[in-house]
Amino acid sequence: MQPEDFVQLFRKYLRSRELHITRTRERIAEEVFQMPGHFDVPDLWVKLRQDQIAPATIYRTLELLTEAGLVRKFFIRDRMCYEENLGRPHHEHLICSRCGQVVEFSDRALEERLAEIVEVHGFRHQSHQVVLAGLCSRCQQEEIKTNSEPPGLGGPEARC
């Protein structure tokens, strides 16, 4: 999927809701698509402030993108994060609680079970969020060797 396709889908959504298609909204969608992984509002603002786009508008537009299903919104490591949701396959997150690394995974059996659960309760499935937390293999070893601090790069202070 190309950035333009993503923006096009957003345009389609806006039309369907009879909302205006503006240059600002297109810019935000473009930039969201180009973010490497998950990101938060300050991350995005860094890219958009040079275009004179205000944080308030970023919040408002991210909400639209989320409603459109083009963006997923989730909480990870005490921070609200967003992620473009169409350019790559659906996945969930596994986080090391010590060094902060985030592993993306997808699992067919898990997805099927989740869908079943939702149905059993009479709900129509819309979305879900799975965040697993554990200790990665490297940190398990580090923990045994020493009580040292986790590695600096990619450490717990790393943004989501």
Partner DNA sequence: GTGCATGCAAAAATTTTGCACATCA
Partner DNA sequence: TGATGTGCAAAATTTTTGCATGCAC
CA dist., res. 17 & res. 101, Å (int): 38
**Does 145 interact with a copy of itself (rule: CB under 8 A)?**
no
List the single partner that 94 binds among a copy of itself, DNA, none, CB under 5 to 8 Å by kind: a copy of itself
**Count residues contacting a copy of itself (CB under 8 A)?**
33
C-alpha 78 chain-centroid distance? 13
List the single partner that 154 binds among DNA, a copy of itself, none, CB under 5 to 8 Å by kind: none
Measured between alpha carbons, how far is residue 79 from residues 39, 76, 160 in Å? Answer: 10, 5, 7
Which of 124/145 has CB closer to a copy of itself?
A: 124
Q: Which residues bind DNA (CB under 7 A)?
A: 14, 19-25, 40-42, 51-57, 59-61, 63, 78-80
Minimum CB distance to a copy of itself, residue 5 (Å)? 26
Residue 13 in contact with residue 70, Cβ under 8 Å? yes
CA dist., res. 11 & res. 119, Å (int): 32
Across-strand partners of 83?
72
Minimum CB distance to a copy of itself, residue 122 (Å)? 4
The token pair at 4 is 């333009």
List the single partner that 157 binds among DNA, a copy of itself, none, CB under 5 to 8 Å by kind: none
Through-space distance between the first and last CA atoms of the chain, rounded to whole angstroms: 24
Interface contacts to a copy of itself, rule CB under 8 A: 74-75, 80, 94, 96-97, 103, 105, 107, 109-110, 113-114, 117-118, 121-137, 140
